[in-house]
Amino acid sequence: MKKLKRKRGGIFNFSDYKSLKARILYLLVIILLVIIFIISIFPPLWLLLSSFKETDQVLTKNFSLFPKSIELIRIVEVWNQFDFGRYYLNSFLLVAGAVISSILFNGLLAYGVAVIKPKGSHVIDLLVMSTLMIPAIINISPLYMNIVNLFNSLGDIFNTNVWNIPYFTYLPLWLIYGANAYYYILFRIYFAKIPKTIFDAAKIDGANNWQIFRYILVPLSIPIISVVGIFTIIAAWSDFLLPSLMTQINQSEQPIMVKLYNMFVNQTAQVTFQERLMTIMFSIIPPIILFVIFQKRIAENVATTGLKE
């Protein structure tokens, strides 16, 4: 109640809450938000608990949230049986490369267009921006054909089957994050706000473009770099279409999302109910941990950039 008495600003303030009607309304709003809060966290919570249940306890008409017993050993069993450690490692590898490529290449492009501004850069800006909303899946076959042609000709040059080189197929999966209009625009808006005098001073001191980028722009841009980094982590972790195409040849290089996708879409997959639930669980735990750690920064960043992932 004390908090309400101090509330200033907003549609209702402390003076409105002197009336009982407004206070009841406030209580109703809180109740409504509690309900929405439950709806938000209930599905992942259900998943977490259900992956410990027997099949008939999940497929029952009498709902119960909690499993009869929680045997942590089960997690270990399924983990080992499906070799999830390997898929996790693959996912981490995919994410790491994607983050580096996404920050480096989109950052450099934005730096070029927003700060150096070489002649004709506004045309590049327009070209990049016009593809802002085109999802990769629309061009999936020509894109894939291009990669195949490139790899096959690389194979001819080096006289080897490049598809068999371990994790070579991850190259396009990483580099594609370096061509993302969304991350580009985030960088560009941020860079444009940095006072031009800083760059001019560096130039007078004899710094070249790369040095300015590396030693001046990057330290000044930690907030936006972390935003793009987090967005890329989530996107790369969730990605499954192109990774699925690229890792078919060496299925042991599949990231966990491809594993999950195959499990649900492939009609001949032989997986038990519990193994399915546990796979989903394994696939959502790392991003949620990431969120819990960085939630404050994420909230601030979304607010300042006005864009979400």
Partner 1 sequence: MQNPFSNSRKFMKKNMGGYLLILPSLLLFTFFVWLPLLKNVQLSFYDITNYTMDGTFVGFDNYKAIFNNPLFLRSLFNTLQYIFWSLIIGFMVPIFLAVLLSEIVHFKGLFRTGLNIPNFIPGIAAMAIWVYFFRSEQSGVLNSLLNNLGISQVNWLYSPPWSAIPLIVLTMTWKSAGATMLIYLAVLQTIDESYYEAARIEGANAWQRMRIVTFPTLLTNIKTLLILQIIAVFQVFYEPLLLTKQNPYSYSLLQILYKTAIQDMEVSEGAAMGVVVALFLFILTFIYLKVTSTNEGKVRKR
Partner 2 sequence: MKKFYSVVLIGILILTLLACNGDSEGKTEVTIGFWPESNLSSDVEMYEDWERMFEEDYPEYDIVGRPYTYSTDDFAALASTGNLPIVFETWFTEPEKLVSKGYVRDITDILVELEWLDKLDDEMRQQLTFDEKIYGIPRDGYGLGLFLNLEIFEMVGLMEDINNDGIIDIYDNQGNPLYPTTMQELYDTATYISNTMQEYYEEEVAGLVILSANKNGGWQFSNLAWNFGESLQIYNESSGTWKANLNSEASLKAMQWIYDLKWTENALPQTPSLTYSDWYFYIGNNMAAMSFVGSDAINLPVTNYGMNKDNIAFVPIPAGFDSDENRHQYTLFGGTPYMFSDRATDEQVRGALLFMEYIGRSPLTTDIAQQSVTRGMVVAQEKGMTIVPSIKPWKNTEYLEMMETIESVYVNVYMPNFEDFYDNLQETKRPEEPYYTQEMYEILDSVIQQILTNENADIEALLNSANSNFETNYMSQVNTD
Question: Site residues for partner 1, window 19-38 (CB under 8 A)?
Answer: 26, 29-30, 32-33, 36-37
Task: Give residues in contact with partner 2 (CB under 8 A).
Answer: 55-56, 59, 61, 81-83, 104, 144-145, 148, 151-152, 158-166, 168, 210, 214, 244-246, 248-249, 251, 262, 265-273
Indicate the residue among 209 and 250 with the shorter CB distance to partner 1. 209
Site for partner 1, residues 67 to 126, rule: CB under 8 A: 105-106, 108-109, 111-113, 116-121, 124
Nearest to 186 by CA among 146, 240, 223, 144: 223
Residue 29 binds which one of partner 1, partner 2, none, with CB within 5 to 8 A depending on kind?
Answer: partner 1
From the list 66-74, 81-89, 161-169, 281-289, the region that binds partner 1 by CB under 8 A is: 281-289
As given in the structure block, the two tokens for residue 190 are 């941020």
Nearest to 112 by CA among 184, 215, 203: 184
CA distances from 99 to 125, 202, 224, 235 (A): 22, 28, 13, 10
The span from the CA of 260 to the CA of 47, in Å, is 15
- Interaction of residue 225 with partner 1, rule CB under 8 A: no
Residue showing tokens 């006289």 = 159
Residue 257 binds which one of partner 1, partner 2, none, with CB within 5 to 8 A depending on kind?
Answer: partner 1
Indicate the residue among 64 and 272 with the shorter CB distance to partner 2. 272
- Angle (nearest 5°) at CA 189 between 183 and 193: 145
- Interaction of residue 166 with partner 1, rule CB under 8 A: no
Give one word for 283, left, alpha or beta, with left for phi > 0 and alpha for psi -120 to 50.
alpha
Indicate the residue among 84 and 240 with the shorter CB distance to partner 1. 240
